[in-house]
Structure 1
């Protein structure tokens, strides 16, 4: 029986030692994963700040002017968009002028005018005729127009620059 008791004690000790090893392995794995997660966090989030600072330093020479006299660029041809409302043909005629303070971006608008006009026609034709009859609808269209133009300028030149879109003629019938 003494031999059996000795074997049983050794077997129980092996089980306890196995549990201790398992706990140590789990703790070590958690520490490694936690350290890896912390390292990834610091690389991802501090890396973006560093690259943003580096990018912020580089284009400081080419930043859009926000001071100075306003420059207005009238889009010469009016936009004409048709709508079908309750089985009736409706039209929107819209003339607009762009406001900026950066002459370089005004020149960029002139260069990329076909792309800008295309984008604006698609924007105008996607609107609801009924919503455009309200002041809020017109203001939302102004904001969306400025955003669409600035998105094209950013895509083509890397900078925005249009402060405001002014509707100089807005006829709906």
Structure 2
């Protein structure tokens, strides 16, 4: 009978080791699972990538450029140290309709730009910020002329290709 009791003690130790091992594995598994969940490893990255790919905007059309020729030359006010401003301007659009509208309305555009440019002050347009502000005003002036003519498509950008003050 003593012999039968000893295997029972060894069997209970084995059961205890198995139970502790299972508990340790469960705790480790839960810890790893919780970590992965909190870091977002279980989120559907593939679904998000597919949604981002399908919701991307259509690629832009290539740019079309047109120079306003001849360059604009205006007199600055008599109290200015610089008397003349010569400025070359290119317009950029992505549709030929816009370029055609600019060509059709060129007299009105040139008139609006000459009025805008002749009112500038040397101290303002001689700085980089002043030139950028002027570029934005030129863009707005061209688009105002196009809107007044009933065009729905507008110029996207204008660039100064020549800027001389004397």
Q: Please report the TM-score for the alignment, with normalisation by the length of structure 1.
A: 0.58
Cross-structure match for 1:54: none
Which of residues 48, 60, 67 is equivalent to 1:67?
A: 60
Q: Does 1:80 align with 2:62?
A: no
- Paired with 2:150 and 2:97, the residues of 1 have a C-alpha distance of 10
Which residue number in structure 2 is paired with residue 138 of structure 1? Answer: 131
Superposed structure 1 runs of 4+ greater than 3 Å apart:
84-89
C-alpha deviation, 1:164, in angstroms? 0.8
- Where does residue 156 of structure 1 map in the other structure? 149
The structure with the larger Rg is 2
Q: Distance in 1 between matches of 2:137 and 2:83?
A: 21
SS at structure 1 position matched to 2:160: strand
> CA contact under 8 A between 2:101 and 2:151: conserved in structure 1?
no
Measured in 2, the distance between the counterparts of 1:164 and 1:119 equals 17
TM (norm. structure 2) is 0.61
Measure, in 1, the Cα distance between the counterparts of 2:111 and 2:96. 22
Check whether the contact 2:143–2:155 (CA below 8 A) recurs between aligned residues. yes
Separation in 1 of the partners of 2:163 and 2:82? 17
What residue ranges of structure 1 are gaps of 5+ in the alignment? 1-65
User: Residue 102 of structure 1 contacts residue 161 of structure 1 at CA under 8 Å; is this kept in 2?
Assistant: no
Unaligned residue ranges in structure 2 (runs of 5+) = 1-58
Provide closer, same or farther for how the CA distance between residues 84 and 159 of structure 1 changes in structure 2, counting only shifts above 3 A: same
* Displacement after TM superposition at 1:88 (Å): 5.0
Larger helix proportion of the pair: 1
Work out which of the residue numbers 78, 85, 94 in structure 1 matches 2:87. 94
Cα–Cα, structure 1 residues 72 and 85, in superposed 2: closer, same or farther, change >3 Å? same
Q: Distance in 1 between matches of 2:66 and 2:74?
A: 21
Q: Is the 8 A contact 1:149 1:162 kept in 2?
A: yes
Q: Is 2:126 the partner of 1:106?
A: no
Count of aligned positions? 108
CA distance in 2, matches of 1:124, 1:142: 10
| Matches of 1:87 and 1:170, distance apart in 2 | 17
